[in-house]
Chain A
Amino acid sequence: MSSIATTRIQRELKDIKESNNQSIKIELKSDEFNNLRGEIVGPSGTPYQDGMYKLSIKIPETYPFNPPIVSFDTRIWHPNISSVTGAICLDILKDQWAAALTLRTVLLSLQALLSAAEPDDPQDAVVAKQYKDNQKAFVKTARFWAQYYANAPGPRDTDCVEKLRKASEMGFYKDISLQALSTHSWDLENAIQYLTSC
């Protein structure tokens, strides 16, 4: 790893520690500086509120002249984040990267992205469609995912719990059942039909 990338990451980690910001966290995955683990707290006022989202951060050799490769490890229901792979669609992580941006600013941008989705520039077309056509179903799904995957507190939606139980009782994996139900805006019949067809 190039020395500039290593020294910068070391500096950034130190700065984050000193900044004492509770809502973002970054730590080394191993002794190598090219593989980091991040964590952000879902911003309040959103369906992701108080969820703990784990991120994997890969630092390219050419950092900071190229952006870090960031993806969600924790599954999330968001128009700009793939509900399956966790890939993020955020301009600053792609063509709008600037060398002066840091891991801290990236994580803060991700928090901002959770607060303000960009459905017109989606990463996950299904989620974006639901966000635009059926906002109520979107909020319900996003909240349930936050509770289910990101340990967001609060009572879970009974309708969701019940439908997920029914789908999994039919022998489908919970994750796959949840994906199908969410995709079909909690229409159990459509979801089951989809699950059996594939």
Chain B
Amino acid sequence: MATKQSEENPDNNDEPWTKKILCRYFLHGICKYGSSCRYSHNRDTAPDLVCRYYQDGHCSYGERCRYDHVRVDKRNKSNSDTSQSRTSESSLIHSTSHDVDWVNAVEFVPGQQYSPRDFGSYSSVLKQGLDTSPDPGQVSASQKFDEICPFALNGECEYGDQCAFVHGLLCDMCNLYILHPDDLHQQAQHKEECMQYHVEDLKESFKIAESRDAVCGICMEVVWEKDEKDRKFGILENCNHMFCLDCIRKWRSAKAFNNTVVKACPQCRVSSSFVTPSSTWIEDKEEKENLIKGYKDHLSNKPCRYFDQGRGKCPFGSNCFYLHAYPDGSKQDRSKVDSKNVEGKNGRRTIDPNSLWDFIGERNEGGNHSSSLMELLQHDLELLDVVYLLGEDSFSSSEEDYDALETLEHRFLYGSDEFLDVDD
């Protein structure tokens, strides 16, 4: 930068910087500007004989090119012959890249690489990694990737052996010429990544393949053939029967039946206390555990509407899936809730009826408790199947369902029997 200023400032130096470069045309005896040429016509000046096309990786003359096919390292300036011109050129690029001062904008100079803006040409952008690589000994793997010719990556580099970029070796996993021939570390890293990607890809496609034909046991339709918003599976905790989320939730909220009937799988009647929504069909035990864990984690970050930052009482106590946090962010001590609301009786956990009564009473505004208790409880439990869509929070069901879920996004981990006990 300093060089450039001194060169361009007419007060310090009367000669433009171009006078320091031997005119290429003059060199070949064909400069039409003669003495008015802005470039030096003095054969003592250092010529710039480095092929700029070669620098960009695509000199179509190849070996027949009259300019030097050498790679110029701007930093080290190893090539002393061209150091001067390179300096001026690089300073030129820098000046344009930092201040958009069109008065001092770069002139278009035939034979010079014209870089009007800070982006540089396509190839120079591509080559940035190459140009800035400091010391070959310290080249990181990602920079090694940058050295790989992007055209040869797909096996289509027309410059063949003359390409300035490294033509990688074929990776038989991803079918790309991406393995750096001289760098075993890069090769290993790529192969590992490729393998990981491949395994995940395979898993995903298996999941999709399995999901594609999955038929809901209730509506008997292929879940993936339904409208996009209904294309979700409801995974039961304790068995592996297939249902779409919509159907299993509807079944679990059916009013005509006993809770033990509707909370059981409609196929095998194994009871599950909650349904986990999933976009693909999951049967594998480990994956299911992950899914359920992710689901619970997701819910545990959502504030509980009953607890209401400590202003309200949550009837689900320590079993609530939702976040019980006070306004200052501190969490409720769940062990306390346990001893207060839940007392051990014959090894069973029962909820203290009083707190539940309060809750029911509030909701019912002092109506007929005993007759409505069961009904309400049943109603509440129906809504326990909260929609949770991996990553998205939109509820696909009707507005009515949405409202219900809004008020009662709850779930009770230990089934419903405990609630029914309260009625006695």
Contacts and interface: CB of A to CB of B under 8 A. Distances in A.
Interface of B: 217-221, 241, 247, 250-251, 254, 256-258, 261, 264-267, 269
**Can you list the 3 inter-chain pairs with the closest CB atoms, starting with the nearest?**
A100-B266, A98-B266, A99-B266
A112 interface: no
B221 A7 contact: yes
Instruction: Give the one of A8, A11, A66, A100 with max B CB within 10 A.
Output: A100
Contacts of B251: 65, 99
Q: Among A64, A65, A95, find the residue whose CB has the most chain B CB atoms closer than 10 A.
A: A65
Chain A's interface: helix, strand, loop or mixed, by majority?
loop
A8 B256 contact: no
Contacts of B219: 4, 7-8, 64
B236 to A, nearest CB: 12
Interface string A19-46: 0000000000000000000000000000
Contact of B258 (A4, A7, A95, A99): A95
A172 interface: no
B237 to A, nearest CB: 17
Contacts of B266: 98-101
21 contacts: A4-B247, A7-B220, A7-B221, A11-B221, A64-B218, A65-B218, A65-B250, A95-B256, A95-B257, A95-B261, A96-B261, A97-B261, A98-B261, A98-B264, A99-B218, A99-B247, A99-B251, A100-B217, A100-B218, A100-B241, A100-B267
Given A8-B219, A64-B218, A66-B256, A98 B247 contact: no
B386 to A, nearest CB: 19
A106 B219 CA distance: 16
Chain B interface, DSSP helix/strand/loop, else mixed: loop
Contacts of A4: 219, 247
Interface residues of A, number: 15
Nearest to B264: A98
Given A12-B220, A64-B218, A65-B250, A98 B267 contact: yes
Contacts of A8: 219-220
A7 B226 CA distance: 12
Given A7-B219, A8-B219, A66-B256, 15 more contacts: A4-B247, A8-B220, A11-B221, A65-B218, A65-B254, A66-B254, A95-B257, A95-B261, A97-B261, A98-B261, A98-B267, A99-B217, A99-B251, A100-B265, A101-B266
A8 to B, nearest CB: 5
Contacts of A11: 220-221
A96 B256 CA distance: 10
A97 B254 CA distance: 11
B360 to A, nearest CB: 25
Contact of A98 (B220, B221, B250, B269): B269
Contacts of B267: 98, 100
B347 to A, nearest CB: 28
Interface string A159-186: 0000000000000000000000000000
Nearest to A15: B220
Contacts of B220: 7-8, 11-12
Contacts of B250: 65
A97 B218 CA distance: 12
Contacts of B254: 65-66, 99
A97 B257 CA distance: 8
A103 to B, nearest CB: 12
Contacts of B261: 95-98
B167 to A, nearest CB: 58
Interface in A1-18: 4, 7-8, 11-12
Nearest to A66: B256
Interface in A84-118: 95-101
